[in-house]
Structure 1
Amino acid sequence: MTKKQIYHSDCKHFLGHIPCKPHKKYGVHCDNCQFYDKKTGKILIIKLGAIGDVIRTTPLLHKLWEVHRDKEIWWVTEYPNILPSAIDKILKLDHKSILQLQNTEFDVVINLDKDYEACALTKSIVAKNKVGFTLEKGKPAPIDQRAEPKFMTGLFDDINKKNTKSYPQEIFEICGWKFEKQEYLIDVEDHYWSIDNGKKKIIGLNTGCGDRWTSRLIPDSTWIELIKAIQKKGYYPLLLGGSQEHHKNEYLADVTKATYLGHFSLEKFISLINKCDLVVSVVTMASHLAIGLKKPIVLINNIFNSNEFELYGRGQIVEPVKKCQCYFSPKCTNEDYSCIEHVTAEAIFKAIKRNLKA
């Protein structure tokens, strides 16, 4: 009589449509498998974008693994490559993943996005409990009272300006937890780079801010003055950026002789930032990567509430000497002056010296 084959669909490694990794690697079957890791349910995080916000949502994983260690953690996002591989299931937002999510029952769905598509997805998924934001009468809405403060800061600038909580603190409170300085989580491959810096401290200078938020764009003249001060001190300036900053960084490298290695894939960019001893950046993906890699950071902020940024005691926020008049505006609307032009190279350099490890 043929022995009946069994399988454990509640195992962390079980996929269903293809063999699991332990079977492919060791040839094991589900009966008496030493790799059997039973999971009693599923938790879904919905955090689609932007990429910096996805990065600074990863501290939640520490608490989820602590409180729900017997549950699978799923995450749907527009940026799957930035998430740590320790997450059980990472899904890119597309029609295939939406179909799968809408036909899977979850214990908890945590939606931390107020965008229409994220809220609509939350509304459409079957779950025993939902946290964060959903869709009501066709509009984004807080699910419960814990999500209301974060919801209100997104509606009214005056309320946002009065906020004293960091983003990680806000999202922990939405989930009913206390933020205890849990760190960002980022995977890093550290074999890509060998930088000939002559043992000088590497100061990473992330010069851009993308096309949308030009109100944060630091003038070339400020970068040039800063680079010269860095070089005079005996540090090693390393220009950082993506394809949008390529020509700017080529120009700055030509004028100052600072090192510019080019723009790279996300994996290589993370690895390059990891080579820095300190990073200077406006609020952008690179700043969140630096924080996640536990690098000292000089964060240049003009249009946001500085309380929202958690630096974990490893950096300093530098702001304009003239107050920003266009709060949360992608483009400067002040006809009298652009506040980003009043972030001085001297102030940035003082912050570098103050926060650079000996």
Structure 2
Amino acid sequence: MGEVIRCTPIITKIKETFENPEIWWVTDYPELIPDMVDHVLKFDLENYTILKNIDFDIVYSLDKELICCSLANEINAETKKGFKIESGKISTYDKDAEYLWIRGIDDKLMKKDTRNYIDLIFETSGFNFNDEKYLLPNKLEKSFELDGKKKIGLNTGTSKTWITRIWKKENWEKLIELLLKENYEIILLGGPEEKEINEELTKKYSEIKYFGVMPICEYISLLDSLDVIVTQVTFAQHLAIGLNKKIVLLNNIFNKNEYYFYNTEHIILEPDLSCKMCYKSKFDNKCLVSNCMDLIKPEQVYNSVQKLVK
């Protein structure tokens, strides 16, 4: 979902570059696509059949996944940008995509790279990035009530595909206890995968609030009501950037330079380890510690929240 959000600036560039463009977007998350897109298709057999029978001028294939690259190969288009599948491997359609492709397989280049991801996908698409903003779905009227105090959102989870990014429940508990002493209003955030931990935390700390799993547009309204958002690298991070919210980001396995925050005030906390930016989805016996996210202490996060609030 975060990948969808941080590809939305390209819509603005397409609209500026081409006269009257008709834009089609294929995605697993149609609810995230802005109204500026003419046709939003979920990837299934029916829509695949439709796409196979349309002649496009340009295809932008930006996701280095076999299924996405296979679809790009199948679609009829005069020009193709980004990534394709070739002999069972991910490859590039042209030179514009080569840097991002090489960055994905060369650890040394990735770790020293200082370019942000949006700039890289613009280059892959044949554009120059000029600070085009995230485009978010329209917000819904809020069905939740908040107090007048400073509001701190805690996004307690991340995709279980990447368990290396998850901050333990014990750490969230300690952070909540520190923040409650400052009389902040604490709101728990997350999707279906975070429901269990958020309900457990709400049961333990009656002062905090959790509004359950929300529709995307209502969730965006909730985030927009907050003063500071504490999050691991996940969907909420990208929404917070799009909403220009103050962010405390807990990062370990990714290169922090790939995130572009525009003018959003933020603090990035990372473990002090030489092996960070490993891009591992699971910890293994080559890791220097059993869980490097534990090296980011609740006290550090608390101090960062205090700094952004004050």
- Alignment TM-score, normalising by the size of structure 1: 0.81
Which has the higher Rg, Structure 1 or Structure 2? 1
Q: How many residues align?
A: 306
Aligned to 1:337: 290
Aligned to 1:346: 299
Give the superposition deviation at 1:66: 0.7
CA distance in 1, matches of 2:71, 2:5: 21
- C-alpha deviations, 1:88-137, integer Å up to 9, x for none? 11111111111111111111111101211211211122212111112223
Give the superposition deviation at 1:323: 4.7
1:253 and 2:206 are equivalent in the alignment: no
Aligned to 1:316: 267
Q: Which SS does the other structure have where 2:161 is aligned?
A: coil
Give the superposition deviation at 1:348: 1.4
Give the superposition deviation at 1:81: 1.0
Unaligned runs of 5+ in 2: none
Aligned to 1:226: 175
Give runs of aligned pairs for residues 290-305 of structure 1, distance below 5 A.
290-305=240-255
Q: Are the equivalent residues in 1 in contact too, given 2:248–2:305 (CA < 8 A)?
A: yes
Give runs of aligned pairs for residues 103-252 of structure 1, distance below 5 A.
103-197=53-147, 199-252=148-201
RMSD in angstroms over aligned alpha carbons?
1.8
In the alignment, residue 298 of structure 1 is paired with which amino acid? V
In the alignment, residue 236 of structure 1 is paired with which amino acid? E
CA distance in 1, matches of 2:100, 2:107: 12
Unaligned runs of 5+ in 1: 1-50
CA distance in 2, matches of 1:129, 1:266: 34
1:54 and 2:35 are equivalent in the alignment: no
Q: Are the equivalent residues in 2 in contact too, given 1:322–1:342 (CA < 8 A)?
A: no
In the alignment, residue 2 of structure 2 is paired with which amino acid? G
Runs of 4+ in structure 1 off by over 6 angstroms are none
Aligned to 2:23: 73
Go from structure 1 to structure 2 and tell me whether the alpha carbon gap of 1:245 and 1:311 turns closer, same or farther (over 3 Å shift).
same
Segment of structure 1 superposing worse, 319-328 or 61-70: 319-328
In the alignment, residue 208 of structure 1 is paired with which amino acid? G
Segment of structure 1 superposing worse, 324-333 or 81-90: 324-333
Give the superposition deviation at 1:220: 1.9
Greater RCO, 1 or 2 (C-alpha within 8 Å, sep 6+): 2
Q: Which SS does the other structure have where 1:353 is aligned?
A: helix
Q: Are the equivalent residues in 2 in contact too, given 1:282–1:300 (CA < 8 A)?
A: yes
